[in-house]
Amino acid sequence: MDSLNKTITTIFFIMGFETKRNMEMFLFSLFMSMYMLTLGAHFLIITLVLLERHLHKPMYLLLANFSLVEVLYTTVTVPKMLDALLTRKKEIYSSSCLVQFYFFFAFGNSENLLLSAMAYDRYVAICHPLRYSAIMNRHTCVTICSVCCVCAFLHAFLHAIVTSRLDFHHQEHIPHFFCDIPPLLEISSSDTTFNQLLIFTEGSLVALVPSSLTVLSYVRIIISILRIRSSTGRRKTFSTCYSHLTIVILFYSTVIFMYFRPSSFYSPTYDRVISIVYSVIIPMLNPFIYSLRNKEIKSALRKMISIRFHPN
């Protein structure tokens, strides 16, 4: 209990961007623009799915949930980063740091599970088109999204509890721009062997099961596509899952590099760059990857713009 009380009263200093004032203001403007663009693009997708009846399909309902999770995922970390850049107030109590870590981990895992659910949706649509409406109905979508969130939050809770028991000095400098597992383990004065073991065992299992289902779904999808005799038909069918596959590759490549590697490969500089990629850049790109490759979303967007500017 004394260790826990000591931990929650520790003051951390977010030292992810130690640079000149002019550069800090440039980064603030850049990341603020990217954050606002991310929010606007994701809320636009959510609005389109809610308002357009022809988008009330499992594929787009899952996409709307994914966009909502991405909004929350970026909001957990980016505002604090922007505040630190603008005001240079880099301190954060470890209790707040732990809350940030928990929700960042929870929403990140929700993304992981939702990506797997979206891959399964594409598998059913392409490999079992006649049974699609029976298998992937609204009740199934609600159940899948609920299970994804519950599992993700329970998984994050386990890691938050274990992390909260680590010892830190009264004032610690985090060489990062938010509270994440690798930098917290790096600055802890405790033995972090159990935490690292937990990441590589339970964490790997949580990541491996959804990613394996995603890979299996796409293997079956590719086999089905190759059986289509028409090259036009193959391209048209593959285009329905191309955008999702792109997001999957971006997501897992950064997560694997960041979390599933030996601690001897830890590098604050590289980690900050990768963290910017998966916490700021990829969430900004994802809605554009979907909208630019999806005819139904582009059609719904044109319809909304037409009604807005030409109501008659």
Count the helix, strand and coil residues of the chain and give each as a percent rounded to the nearest 5. 80, 5, 15
CA 174, CA 97: separation in Å to the nearest integer?
11
CA 219, CA 213: separation in Å to the nearest integer?
10
pLDDT in tens, the chain (312 residues): 444 444 455 777 877 776 777 888 898 999 999 999 999 999 999 999 998 888 888 888 999 999 999 999 999 999 988 888 888 788 888 788 889 989 998 998 999 899 999 999 989 988 888 889 888 888 888 899 999 999 999 988 988 888 888 777 666 777 778 888 777 877 777 777 887 787 777 767 777 788 888 889 888 988 888 888 877 777 777 777 777 888 888 888 777 776 666 655 666 667 777 788 888 888 998 888 877 667 788 787 787 777 666 655
Going by their DSSP bridges, the two strands 11-14 and 171-174 should be labelled as parallel
Contacts of 211 (CB under 8 A, 6+ apart): 112, 116, 252
Q: How many CB atoms lie within 10 A of CB 35?
A: 20
Measured in residues, the chain has a length of 312
Structure tokens at 222: 């590719």
pTM of the shown model: 0.86
126: exposed, middle or buried (Cβ count in 10 Å: 0-12, 13-18, 19+)? buried
